[in-house]
Each structure stands twice: as C-alpha cells, then as structure tokens.
Chain A
C-alpha cells in the first residue's frame, strides 16, 4: 500500500487560494505558513494535509492549521467568510484536476474521504443486464 502525505501551504491572494509551497513535514509547513502570515498581515493562510492512497485512488484532505485573518473576529458582516468558501471551490477544482472526488473545503477542519468514480459502475451494469434479460423474456413470450 502506497500512502503519500503532504502538507500544502495555501494563502488567499488575488481572490483565490493559492498554493505557496508543498512540504512533507507538518511542523515545517506550519512554520512556512507563519512566515507568510508575518510578512503579509492580512493574508489568510491554511495548511492542508493531503493523504493520498495511490492504490485505492483515495484522497483525504483536512486543514491542520488556519490563520485568523486580522479583522475577521471583529467583522460580523460575514465578508470574512469568503475565503473559506473559495477554498472549497479551490479544493474542488484541485480534486477534479487530480481525478479524485475531493470536494470538502480545504479550509475547514473536517476529515474528507474521497474516492474515485467507479464504484457505482458494477450496479449500473447489473441493472442494464437485468433490463436486457427482461426485454428478451418479454419479446420471447410475446412472439410465442
């Protein structure tokens, strides 16, 4: 079983979550995120852990660090919530790019289990087979 774990440091720049660096060590990734925070005070930063199971084509991602942007706590109009929802879209785009079904927000601390499309396929084929058999039986009985 091959499982790869990486940590993506993402910063919210130009109305999008952009990957700033990829590291395989959580403490280093968080340290890198804090450096970005210290340089750009109002830039939200998250560290997303991605565990990829190559054999199963599963991708699990969750955030392990999330900065508190200045003004978010004081800002009660909900505007500060825009970056996390963008992170959700960004994570979805990323999942589509990688062929996995990752859709949960990267910036939300929730475990996500993603798996490749295809487990429904056997059921669809089975249904088609049943339909074919039923049609054949119906045609046979009608012609008889």
Chain B
C-alpha cells in the first residue's frame, strides 16, 4: 500500500513529529487506524532510526518492542530483541518516548508531547509522538512511536508546572 511518496522528506516538512503524523494519516486513509503491516520503515529514511514499535500487552509493562530504531537503543542493551517495556532504562530516549502511552491509549489518537528531560545526565529538549495502530481496525494492537531531541545548556524540565491560567470564574453553576 505504502510507497516512499507517502512519507514526507525533510525538505517538505522540517518537523519530525509532523512527518510521522502525516505518514500515519496517509496510511490510515478512511480508517480509524493504520495496521502494523502498513508501516514500511524503508519509506521513512533516516527517521526510522528514531522510531520504535510497541506490541501492546496486558499488563502494559509486558508490552513488547518489535522494532527499536538505532538512535533509540538504550546504551545498556546489547540487542533489542525480545525486549519488554518494563526493561526500558528510565534515563533512556525510549523511556521518555513512552511516557504518554496511557494518554494515547485513552484518547485513541496520536499524541505528541515535548519538553526538557535528562538523557544520561545531559539536559536535552525533546519531542515525542505516539501513533496508535490496529490490526482489526478496532482494538489498538501496536503503537508506533518516535522521538527526537537536542542537547541544551540549561535543563528545561517537562514537569515544571505552568502558571495558572488567568481566567475569571464567572460561570454560574447550573
């Protein structure tokens, strides 16, 4: 189904998460979700190294990793074969990529989050996206994820609470 034209080049779209989101939407077509078989990593060029595919399991910790891009392989791992989510080291890119997995499964749509975190002690600014896949069109069976980052001088933490919205509470209870 897919061919290389379905994946945008960096010249066409410079933002990594939007390239992935566009690819997911093209593969999906009129369906709710694309299938895992629709994903062709060869189409994605260099971006495939920043992507991973999860095979969902219950409990979620038992979720397997069927594809881990070269850039996402944790330093501690010699191989990515037969790995599970519970084994992902907490300071790795893969860990930061899956932090909003629950939200993705709950919303049943692609979810992209960004922010600062530390990667093996170095402060980085990253953005990830998780895109649900379904083999039967109903149940989310897999999740395609991607993350990219850049090293920054000063730490920017994702969990820093934002200032409260300045809104007047004018709504009357009905």
Report A's interface with B, CB cutoff 8 A. Answer: 1-3, 5, 19-25, 28, 31-32, 35-36, 39, 51, 53, 60, 101, 111-115, 117, 119-120
5 extra A-B contacts, CB within 8 A, seeds A1-B161, A3-B162, A31-B15: A22-B109, A39-B26, A111-B167, A113-B168, A115-B173
Q: Please determine whether B109 and A21 come into contact, CB atoms closer than 8 angstroms.
A: yes
* Chain B residue, CB-CB nearest to A118: B173
B85 at the interface (CB under 8 A from A): no
CA distance in complex: A34, B168 (Å): 31
Q: Please determine whether A5 and B162 come into contact, CB atoms closer than 8 angstroms.
A: yes
In whole Å, how far is A96's beta carbon from the nearest beta carbon of chain B?
14
B114 is contacted by which of A24, A53, A117 (Cβ under 8 Å)? Answer: A24
In whole Å, how far is B11's beta carbon from the nearest beta carbon of chain A?
15
Name the residue among A1, A21, A101 with the largest chain B CB count within 10 angstroms: A21
Chain B contacts of A21 at CB under 8 A? 21, 109-112
Contact with A along B1-37 (1 / 0, CB 8 A): 0000000000000010110011001100000000000
* Chain B residue, CB-CB nearest to A113: B171
Q: Please determine whether B170 and A113 come into contact, CB atoms closer than 8 angstroms.
A: yes
* Chain B residue, CB-CB nearest to A55: B164
CA distance in complex: A35, B115 (Å): 23
Chain B contacts of A35 at CB under 8 A? 18, 21-22, 25
A3 is contacted by which of B26, B113, B165 (Cβ under 8 Å)? Answer: B165
In whole Å, how far is B103's beta carbon from the nearest beta carbon of chain A?
7
* Chain B residue, CB-CB nearest to A119: B173
**B interface residues, tally (CB under 8 Å):** 29
B150 at the interface (CB under 8 A from A): no
In whole Å, how far is A83's beta carbon from the nearest beta carbon of chain B?
19
Q: Please determine whether B111 and A23 come into contact, CB atoms closer than 8 angstroms.
A: yes
Chain A contacts of B162 at CB under 8 A? 3, 5
CA distance in complex: A47, B69 (Å): 31
Q: Please determine whether B167 and A60 come into contact, CB atoms closer than 8 angstroms.
A: yes
Q: Please determine whether A22 and B107 come into contact, CB atoms closer than 8 angstroms.
A: yes
* Chain A residue, CB-CB nearest to B32: A18
Chain B contacts of A3 at CB under 8 A? 161-165
Chain B contacts of A23 at CB under 8 A? 17, 111-113
CA distance in complex: A19, B173 (Å): 28
Chain A contacts of B164 at CB under 8 A? 1, 3, 53
B112 is contacted by which of A2, A5, A22 (Cβ under 8 Å)? Answer: A22
Chain B contacts of A5 at CB under 8 A? 162
Q: Please determine whether B169 and A28 come into contact, CB atoms closer than 8 angstroms.
A: no
Using A36-B25, A113-B171 as known contacts, say yes or no to A20 and B165 having CB atoms under 8 A apart: no
In whole Å, how far is B15's beta carbon from the nearest beta carbon of chain A?
7
In whole Å, how far is A97's beta carbon from the nearest beta carbon of chain B?
10
A2 is contacted by which of B25, B161, B173, B174 (Cβ under 8 Å)? Answer: B161
CA distance in complex: A117, B173 (Å): 8
Q: Please determine whether A19 and B107 come into contact, CB atoms closer than 8 angstroms.
A: yes
